[in-house]
Structure 1
Amino acid sequence: MIDLTRGHNRWLVLVALLLALTLAVYPLPLDWRWWRPEFVMLVVVYWVFTLPDHVSLTQVALLGLIQDLVEGTPLGQHALGLVIVTYIALQSYRRFGNYALWQQACWVFVLVGIAQMTSNWVHSLAGGHVSGLQFLYPALVSAVLWPLVHIGFGGLRHRYRIQ
């Protein structure tokens, strides 16, 4: 049985990832498809910055492959972006904690933008075409949502004493 008073409540991370995967495929009108935030990336970035010792690149690559299967994208598209962003986040998590919330949101924009660029690259290799900087819209929306994600998961982390 899971003891909710101890610091080993990492089941919340799995629930958050499942919810993020669900939101990643939730149907939206076609006009809004470019404005969908990268929910899985936001959850991964938050937990990498919060619990960097408990995240491995292998786990993130598997999560990316699962996201590829769920979304029906070319196999490895999300895995590549998630691994690159996770590596950068693991290298910069000490500095990230010292940033103000708006600076963190700017860094999240950069990280999600990197993942979006790799996804756009894979998409173009598969024969697709995206004109302009439209592929960066999810990075912008994700950065705007970052304060809510940070505050929401921070409250849950303290409530369930996840360490």
Structure 2
Amino acid sequence: MSNPHAILFVIPLTFIIAFMLTIVPLPEWAVLWRPEWVALVVIYWSMALPRRVGVGYAWILGLLLDIIKGTLLGQHALGFAVIAYLTLRFHQRIRVFPLWQQSFAIGLMLAIHLLLLLWVYGMMGRAPQTSLYWGPVLTSMALWPWVFLLLRDVRRRWCLGVN
């Protein structure tokens, strides 16, 4: 069931779902463990369709996330642009890794993203006081295999033949 125009709504729809998962209310104990949904989807699409989703796309998504979360404009955009660049730079290597190794590569990229956010928070004088700040890296790494398999199935079903 491949449609050449499906790519026009499939990729944005996956990002809308990722944004929804990012803003869904969670119990207080779980907030610090919320996966980086939008970043995971940016990584997947940058790896799967590097000619379609790149640094510019990631920058715009980061700005949207900054607006949605009410954070300093550009902090997530910077992190997502770096993630997209690293994914584009190494996508051919990462794609051949088994899923458990991909999870570690994704974890490293997300740690860089959170390190950039930490740098911005530190400059603003709002650095987190807990080591649980790094919790999203662990949960995102644990969820990567399922995110990858789900998005791969969506891509194969709706976007087959699209580069």
- TM-score bracket, normalised by the shorter chain, equals over 0.9
The alignment of Structure 1 onto Structure 2 pairs a total of residues equal to: 160
Shift of 1:54: 1.1
Cα root mean square deviation, aligned: 1.3
Cα distance in 2 between the residues matched to 1:69 and 1:130: 21
Hey, what does 1:53 align to over in structure 2? 51
Hey, what does 1:83 align to over in structure 2? 81
Shift of 1:14: 0.4
Hey, what does 2:106 align to over in structure 1? 108
Gaps of 5+ in 2: none
Shift of 1:66: 0.6
The answer on whether the counterparts of 2:46 and 2:54 sit within 8 Å (CA) in structure 1 is: no
Cα distance in 1 between the residues matched to 2:159 and 2:71: 36
Establish whether residue 73 from structure 1 lines up as the match of residue 50 from structure 2.
no
TM (norm. structure 1) is 0.93
Report percent identity of matched pairs. 32
The answer on whether the counterparts of 1:48 and 1:90 sit within 8 Å (CA) in structure 2 is: yes
- Off by >6 Å, runs of 4+ in structure 1: none
Cα distance in 1 between the residues matched to 2:50 and 2:159: 16
One-letter code aligned to 2:117: S
Cα distance in 2 between the residues matched to 1:7 and 1:139: 35
Shift of 1:132: 4.9
One-letter code aligned to 2:6: N
Cα distance in 1 between the residues matched to 2:54 and 2:101: 25
Shift of 1:157: 1.2
Q: 1:93-104 to 2 correspondence within 5 Å?
A: 93-104=91-102
Cα distance in 1 between the residues matched to 2:15 and 2:51: 18
Match of 2:128 among 130, 140, 143: 130
- Deviation string 1:51-77 (CA, Å, 9 cap, x unpaired) is 001123222111100100001111111
Match of 1:6 among 3, 27, 35: 3
Establish whether residue 38 from structure 1 lines up as the match of residue 31 from structure 2.
no
Cα distance in 2 between the residues matched to 1:20 and 1:145: 13
The answer on whether the counterparts of 1:117 and 1:135 sit within 8 Å (CA) in structure 2 is: no
The answer on whether the counterparts of 1:41 and 1:112 sit within 8 Å (CA) in structure 2 is: yes
